[in-house]
Amino acid sequence: MPTVQEIFQQYGDEYKKQYPLNATQKKAFEHITTCRTQECGIHISICEECGYEQISFNSCRDRHCPQCQTYKKEEWLNNRKAELIGTRYFHLVFTLPDDLNMIVMQNQDELYSILFKASAETILELTEDKKWLGAVPGFICVLHTWGQNLDFHPHIHCIITGGGLTKINTWQQSGADFFIPVKVLSKKFRGKFIYYLKEAYKDNCIDFYSSIKGYEDPFCFKKLINVLYEKDWYTYAKKPFSSPEAIIEYLGRYTHRVAISNNRITKVEDGYVTFKWKDYRDDSKVKEMTLPAVEFIRRFMLHILPKGFMKIRYYGIMANRNKKTKLVLCQKLTNILNNPPLYKKLTKRELLLKVTSGKAFICPRCGKEAMRWLGCPDIKHDTT
């Protein structure tokens, strides 16, 4: 099966002749290209039964690499199990209109931060209103920047509890359907984002280059703002999950995704890449798209996040400052702590066995579960 790494290795030089890379993109490009090759160093395992030695190449551990997310995802989900609350959960998505794509692309740190801030404040302010809930929920926000066809499409996925903690420390349960109308969410989110966008413009925190340089003129920028106010911003809520356990597996689909996984690539031939994509505008039909390899790489590189930027954030009763106090209280109030099997966190060994379908410590020669890793020189990448 073709991989993103093979496409980078085969067509990367041609791509770099046409498109300059910033420092963060350059690191990610090198990491993906050299992942699990000699450039990443090696580690040695030995069988304590038969003495067989196995040499393996290290992974790059870059968060944008399609080969390095499985263990990280399982580790993250394992840690989240202890933070579940005994309630239903909902899935919200906040999306920016295409008119903002170029501005966001050229000001990623600033605009992604505003996207998180506007999304979180929208939820917190509306849920605080007794008309909708009258309590503080817990929610996790995850930034995605791509659509199924790899185009630039920044949006936030939010997993939110169907209820929250009131001011008098009682649990307030929401109704069976999502408790805030989507139109109310969209309007509030639009106002929040535009407000912070105008503040950033006023404080000269936004740069404009190339085709959007005209927005440096306040009159042109005001015209853009008027267009944004006139649009209906796309926000939607999915049906609730059947149980707290179900949310754990669902979260894994979103938290450690990269722009495209290797299993979606079907063919690399004569300088073109063919991959599967889901067309949501056509009843979610799975289709195939073929792009020149250089264009495929260009689209992939659009989604390399700024160095150190946190793409997963926690709010409300799930905020880090509340995890040992309000979160624990909500778990008690919703009786989920009476379900011990849910909170049996896996050890690193158990996680490895899960990720490798039980084969992590099996000796290829004698077939016994007796492989042990030995210490060895290791090249460590900056994975931010």
| Predicted confidence (pLDDT) per residue in 147-182, tens digit | 999 999 999 999 999 999 999 999 999 987 778 899
Amino acid symbol at 204? N
Closest by CA to 118, choosing from 152, 145, 92, 94, is 94
Predicted TM-score (pTM) of this structure = 0.91
Strand partners, 138: 316
Work out the average pLDDT over 374-381.
54
SS3 162: coil
Which pLDDT score, from 0 to 100, does residue 238 have?
Answer: 81
Please give the DSSP secondary-structure letter assigned to residue 88.
-
The phi and psi torsions of 4 (rounded to 5 degrees) equal -60, -40
pLDDT digits (tens, 9 = 90+) for 281-333: 888 899 999 999 999 999 999 999 999 999 999 999 999 999 999 999 999 99
Helices (H), the chain: 4-18, 23-34, 70-80, 101-106, 108-128, 182-202, 218-230, 244-255, 293-301, 326-333, 348-355
* Average pLDDT over all residues of the chain: 91
